[in-house]
Structure 1
Amino acid sequence: MAAAGGGDAEAEEASAFGHAPVPADVCLPYGPHPDQVVDLYAPRGGTGPAPLVVLLHGGAWRAPYDRHHVSPLAARLAGYGFAVASVEYRRGPGPTDRGSRTDGAPGEDISVTDDLPAPGESGTGNGNGSTGAAQAGSPPGAVPRAGRWPETFDDVALAVDRLPALIGRVQAGEGRSAVRGIPQGDPAWARVDPACTVLTGHSAGGHLALWAAARHRLPVGSRWHCAGPPGTGGCSPPPFRGVVALAPIADFTTARRLGVCSDAAVQLLGGPEEWPARLPYADNAALLPTGVRTTVVQGATDADVPPDVARAFVAAAERAGQPVRLVLLDGVGHFPLIDPAAPAVAVVADEIARLAGREPGRDSCPGPGPGRDRDSEPGRHSGREPAHQPGSEPGH
């Protein structure tokens, strides 16, 4: 999915996608659909409370790209001492309906469909599965359609709301799951602190991470609105320490003007005819201010999601009175931000640790502070050198 930009961009993409998938320690369903699963990676290193990083993969909300391509990043972040929850979600429609998941928690209602329709919708989905390289009926070689309205947003909201309970089950050794590594009930899981959660995501996943932290800004009548504290809005997400968005498609108007990812944002909202009505419910720039500490990490030479998209979002945040930290990485394109072999990932880990309140050598996660320390300060790094010195990685 690399845009035209020369051999460096192609080499960066090849490196990021060249790693073998890293199996999660535990895989759990958060809903009935086969794509409603979360991969959990236990923290490695450190001894104290481990912040929880919720990771949302990119791929322009299109079906061919799933969570497995960021599994090496998830494992790398776990190596820094974070617990990682890598969330799968329904993306652009595939050729067949793959049915419903049957391994949800006994006695638990895991449906997200209710009587309240999504904005501009009847409240029913299209019923298609989300695998396959192209939409049914598309000519061979066609770019798959991006996203599923409202299912993509349903899934992200549901996953975030249910993560604390899922972590609790793993810590207690309860529930059904696919265990591949550190089993449920292991002492490593006891370190995971859902009260210290940082959202992160790449590209389209960066948009979803920002959106998940902004649900309290949605109209009260929206099916995804969350008023905040548990029990007050029909949802109880963990208290987010912040969002680290990696090359996010964060300003839909700018993304549409630039044709980012073959107009993926337009497709996500259902096409040009649905754009005006749905934009206020989905565009990160329209849901400001959130009051959640936010950092955007952006490659300065990114041709897939150009820096102008990030700059437009940061400018919108400033107009709304919310400080957003923009970290530009010189000489870096779109994919090194998720490539564990690239120095840029050390910058990503540093920004996550900063928002989590972690400092090198300190195993703690303090309560929420005012969140205005360095949030509005721009940062600039050479993407060829790590931000950390050896031995200063969080959790080590």
Structure 2
Amino acid sequence: MHYGAHRDQWLEYYPPQQLRARGAVMIIHGGYWREKYTASLGAPLAQDLAARGIPAYNLEYRRGPGSAAQMLADAKLAVGLIKEEEPITVIGHSAGGQLGCLLAAHDERITQVISQAGLLDVGLAKSLGLSNAAVDELLGPLPLASYDPVELWPMRARVIIFHGRDDTDVPVKIARRAAGRAAALGQEHSFTLFDGDHFTWIDPHSSQWAACVRALSPVHY
């Protein structure tokens, strides 16, 4: 389903083989907001959810230098195509976790965000210069606070923060500080560390992905 004229403005729907859940889940892929990383990263997760009876959507969005406002606008448009009623959970990996939280802060249809090694503290990521100053590349002249999840909390949606102890792409200190900010701001959240690196989360056969599925259970079943 296309929600705009750009080639990257589309949302792929994965219908459940046998409906067993309420609401829907939207997958948002990561890749430090760069164009070479695509929604193909999220497709296996959406397929797995559909096989479990959960309506699943896999988001593609505009990325690249200076795309912060465009990607948020895209996510807002895309969630409008989800036909199911609440609950809607966003599962976002890496930069997708950041975008998922931004979306939830702007759209009350989102009831839960599951952050898989998410870039939830963009200010800290900027100060660390992660991925060759990816934050500066993303924002350009735009204000950081408008695109930093921890600056938009508290919000209605619950945030589940999952992170790998061996993550060298998004250091675990990002998750720890985000969890601390959530606690201080009164943002409903949970924080769990797992073994594994940055990419185990997007392997549908991993124990890390199984934890994400379990986090859906009390909300969607």
Normalised to the residue count of structure 1, the TM-score between the two structures is 0.53
One-letter amino acid of the structure 2 residue matched with residue 333 of structure 1 = D
**Deviation digits for residues 76-110 of structure 1 (CA, Å, limit 9, x no counterpart):** 12222211111110011xxxxxxxxxxxxxxxxxx
Q: Does 1:159 align with 2:78?
A: yes
Aligned to 1:286: 151
Runs of 4+ displaced beyond 4 Å: none
**Deviation digits for residues 142-189 of structure 1 (CA, Å, limit 9, x no counterpart):** xxx4x51422222112112x223xx3xxxxxxxxxxxxxxxxxxxxxx
**Deviation digits for residues 278-318 of structure 1 (CA, Å, limit 9, x no counterpart):** 11210001001112111011111111011110111111111
1:105-144 correspondence to structure 2 within 5 Å? none
Match among 259, 262, 286 for residue 132 of structure 2: 262
Say whether the 8 Å CA contact 1:50–1:81 is kept in structure 2. Answer: no
1:20-169 correspondence to structure 2 within 5 Å? 28-45=1-18, 47-92=19-64, 145=65, 148-160=67-79, 162-164=80-82, 167=83
Equivalent residue of 2:101, what SS?
helix
Between the aligned partners of 2:156 and 2:35, the Cα distance in structure 1 is 32
Say whether the 8 Å CA contact 2:68–2:147 is kept in structure 1. Answer: no
Between the aligned partners of 1:304 and 1:269, the Cα distance in structure 2 is 19
Between the aligned partners of 2:193 and 2:216, the Cα distance in structure 1 is 15
Change (3 A) 1:291 1:50: closer
1:1-396 correspondence to structure 2 within 5 Å? 28-45=1-18, 47-92=19-64, 145=65, 148-160=67-79, 162-164=80-82, 167=83, 193-215=84-106, 228=108, 239-270=109-140, 274=141, 278-330=143-195, 332-354=196-218, 356-358=219-221
Equivalent residue of 2:217, what SS?
helix
Between the aligned partners of 2:154 and 2:26, the Cα distance in structure 1 is 21
Between the aligned partners of 2:138 and 2:216, the Cα distance in structure 1 is 28
Equivalent residue of 2:132, what SS?
coil
Normalised to the residue count of structure 2, the TM-score between the two structures is 0.93
Identity %: 33
One-letter amino acid of the structure 1 residue matched with residue 116 of structure 2 = L
Say whether the 8 Å CA contact 1:80–1:349 is kept in structure 2. Answer: no
Change (3 A) 1:263 1:84: same
The answer to which structure has the higher helix fraction is 2
Between the aligned partners of 1:350 and 1:283, the Cα distance in structure 2 is 27
Between the aligned partners of 1:308 and 1:315, the Cα distance in structure 2 is 10
How many residues align? The count is 221
One-letter amino acid of the structure 1 residue matched with residue 94 of structure 2 = S
**Rg larger for:** 1
Equivalent residue of 1:64, what SS?
coil
Equivalent residue of 1:35, what SS?
coil
Equivalent residue of 2:92, what SS?
strand
**Deviation digits for residues 104-162 of structure 1 (CA, Å, limit 9, x no counterpart):** xxxxxxxxxxxxxxxxxxxxxxxxxxxxxxxxxxxxxxxxx4x51422222112112x2
Say whether the 8 Å CA contact 1:251–1:312 is kept in structure 2. Answer: yes
Say whether the 8 Å CA contact 2:126–2:135 is kept in structure 1. Answer: yes
Structure 1 unaligned spans of 5+: 1-27, 93-144, 168-192, 216-225, 229-238, 359-396
**Deviation digits for residues 320-355 of structure 1 (CA, Å, limit 9, x no counterpart):** 11231012112x11001001132211111111223x
Pairwise CA RMSD? 1.7
One-letter amino acid of the structure 1 residue matched with residue 130 of structure 2 = V
Between the aligned partners of 1:260 and 1:351, the Cα distance in structure 2 is 28
